[in-house]
Amino acid sequence: MKFQLIENIVVELNEQIGVGRIAKIYQPDPELIVIKIWTGRENIKLLISVEAAQGGIHLTERAFLNPSRPPRFCQLLRARITRILKFEVVNEDRIVFIHCHGPQGEYRLVVELIGRGGNMILVDSAGRIIDALKRVQGENGHRSLIAGKPYIFPPVRENSDGDRHSEVLEKPSGISWNQFADQPQTKASASQDFFQQLLRTLGAQIKKLSKRLSNIEAELAAQEDYQRHKQGADLLLANLHLLKRGMTSIALIDYYRDPPEEVEIPLDPLLTPQQNVEASFKRFKKLKRGIEHSLRRVDETRSELSWLEQLEFQLKDDSSGSTLEEVAEELRAAGLLREVGTLRARRTSQSGGPLEGRSPSGYRVLVGRNNRQNDELSTRLLKTGDLWFHVHNAPGAHVVLKCGQQREHVTETDLRYAAELAAGYSRLKNDSKVEVIQTEGGAVHKPKGGKPGLVNVLRYSTIVVQPKRLAD
C-alpha cells in the first residue's frame, strides 16, 4: 500500500471512528486481522493485513472464513484492547500506530506495512513489546521483536522518501479512500482468495482428523491384549475350586500358551472366588466394548478423512467457480464452513454433469469431477452390468464404463482406457504408473448415511496403467 494512500486512509479513520469500542477481533489468515468496531452510530470492520503483496489498513465490507479457534496473536488482542482511541502515521514511513485502551491501560498496536517484513506488534505505554504477530529473536544485527523488549522502528528504506514524493494517487469521485482501498477484487483474485480459504479449511480439518486417527489407533494398540483377559477369566473359572477368599493372586498353568506355562493371575482378597471370576469376565467385556467402540471410531474417522481428502483433490484438480462452490456447499452442510459473505463464489446456473469419453470400442465412459457427480454416477447411473473404476487408495474420480448387457464384448483395451482416465483424474495423475481398482456395478454400494461420493466396494481386481485425461 502506497504511503500517500495510508495517510489519506488514516485521516478518514480518525474522522469516522473517533473513539470506537471494539466488538470483536478475528484472525482469518496468518497475516490478517479484522476488528469489528462500534463507532456509536454503526458497526464497521477494520482490515489490517501485513501480507507482502497485499498489505494494507482500511475499512472493509468483505467477510472472511474465521478459524474455530483464534490464533495466539488474536487471543492476545482480544484480552488486552477494548477501545480504539486514534490512528497515527509515524516515522514518515508506512507505519501506523493504532492507539488503544484496555483493562490494564494504554497500548499501541503498531502496524508495519513494509512489504515482506510487514508485522503487527502490541506495545505498552512504556514502549515495551507485549507480543508480535511475527516474533523476531534479533540475531545477526536485526532488531528484536519479542515480549519485554523495547519497540524499535525498522530501518528506514533507502528509497522510501523518494517513493513518498513521487506518489500521485487518483480515486474515482464519490467514494472514500477506504472504499477505494477496499474496491472489489478482480474475479480471478476473488476466486483465488476463496480457493486458498477453502484449502486452508480442508488442510486444518485433515490435520485434525489425522491426529485423531493416530490417537484412536494408539488406544487400540494398548487394548489389543484384551483376549488375554478372557483367557485369564476362563482359567479362573476352570480352577474355581482352588480359589480362596483373601488370596491376592494365584499361579495357574495357562494351556492357551504353546508350550503351556505357569502364569500369575491377580485376585481381589476382599472378594469371594465366584466374585473374582465374575470381576475378571467383567473386565474382559469392558475391554471388548472399548475395542468395538474404538474400531467404530476408526471406521468413521477414516471415512471422514477420505471424504475431506477427496474434496481437497477436487479443489486442486479444478479450481473453477463451480467446483469452489460445490466444495464449499459440502463443507457448509457438514458445519465446517462458517461465514463466507462476499468471498462466496457465485454458483453457475448449472455446474454441469460428468465428463464423457468414448472407449476404443465406442462405449460411453463417464468421469465424475466432484462428489456430487461421483455420487450420481455410483448410485443412479451405474447399473449392474456396467463397470466401475477408481484409483487404488487415493482420492480420485469415479469412472463408469457403460456397457450394460454387452459386458462380454468389452475388450482389454476398453478396460485400460477407463482405468487410465480413473488414474488421470486422481491425486496420482502425475505418477508414471498407477494402480486402479475395477469391479462390476453390483459390487458398489453407498453406505447408509455416507457422505456424497463415498461408497463401499465389495470385491474388485486391480490394473496398473499410465494416467491419461480427456482432450480439452
Residue 159: count of CB within 10 angstroms of its CB: 9
How far from 212 is each of 207, 209, 305, 451, 469, CA to CA, in Å? Answer: 9, 5, 10, 19, 35
pLDDT for 451 beyond 70: yes
Q: Which of the residue ranges 1-10, 177-186, 307-316 would you say has the lowest mean pLDDT?
A: 177-186
Q: In this structure, is residue 212 part of a structural domain?
A: yes
Whether residues 128 and 274 fall in one domain:
no
Same domain, 170 and 192: no
Sheet strands (E) in 336-466: 355-358, 364-367, 387-391, 399-402, 434-440, 444-445, 456-457, 461-465
pLDDT tier for residue 191 given thresholds of 50, 70 and 90 = low
In a domain, 52, yes or no: yes
Q: Do residue 221 and residue 331 come from a single domain?
A: yes
pLDDT for 123 beyond 60 = yes
Q: Which of 290, 323, 349 is the last residue of a domain?
A: 349
Say if residue 13 is in the same domain as residue 106.
yes
3-state secondary structure of 362: coil
Look at residues 305, 322, 349 and tell me which one is the last residue of a structural domain: 349
Per-residue confidence (pLDDT) for residue 408, from 0 to 100:
87
Q: Are strands 434-440 and 364-367 parallel, antiparallel or unpaired?
A: unpaired
**Cα 464–Cα 470–Cα 471 angle in degrees, nearest 5:** 135
Residue 471 covered by a domain: no
Q: What is the CATH number of the domain that holds 13?
A: 2.30.310.10
| Highest mean pLDDT (candidates 159-173, 325-339, 439-453, 455-469) | 455-469
Is residue 335 domain-shared with residue 369, that is, in the same domain? no
One-letter amino acid at 460 equals: Y
**For residue range 8-31, what is the model confidence (pLDDT) as tens digits?**
999 999 999 989 999 999 998 889
Residue 340: predicted pLDDT: 43
Domain that holds residue 130: 3-183
Note whether 298 and 410 are same-domain residues.
no
Summarised one tens digit per residue, pLDDT across range 34-92 is 999 999 989 999 999 998 877 889 998 877 777 778 899 999 999 999 999 999 998 77
Measured CA to CA, the distance from residue 327 to residue 140 in angstroms comes to 46
> 395: Cβ–Cβ under 8 A, 6 or more apart, which residues?
306, 309, 310, 312, 313, 314, 426, 427
Q: Closest by alpha carbon to 435, among 396, 397, 413, 466?
A: 466
Q: Where are the beta strands (DSSP E) in 50-134?
A: 56-59, 83-90, 95-102, 105-112, 119-124, 129-132
Residue 219: pLDDT band with limits 50, 70, 90: confident
Mean pLDDT lowest for which of 99-108, 154-163, 260-269? 154-163
Does 472 fall in a domain?
Answer: no
Domain count across the chain: 3
Residues 302 and 393 in one domain: no
**pLDDT, position 170:** 61
Instruction: Tell me the torsion sign for CA atoms 366, 372, 378, 382.
Output: negative
Query: Are 342 and 362 in a shared domain?
Result: no
Residue 470 is assigned to a structural domain of this protein:
no
Q: Do 172 and 193 sit in the same domain of this protein?
A: no
Consecutive H or E run containing 44: strand 43-49
Sign of CA dihedral 65, 66, 71, 73: positive
Whether residue 112 is found in the same domain as residue 160: yes
pTM of the model: 0.53
Residues 194 and 330 in one domain: yes
Task: Tell me: do 254 and 198 sit in the same domain.
Answer: yes
- Secondary structure letter of residue 347 according to DSSP: P
Distance CA 281, CA 43 (A): 64
Q: Report percent pLDDT > 70 for the chain.
A: 89
Residue at which a domain ends, from 152, 168, 183: 183
- Determine the pLDDT at residue 171: 57
Residue whose C-alpha is closest to residue 206's, from 313, 359, 317, 349: 313
Mean pLDDT of 160-178: 60
**Which percentage of the chain shows pLDDT scores above 90?**
57
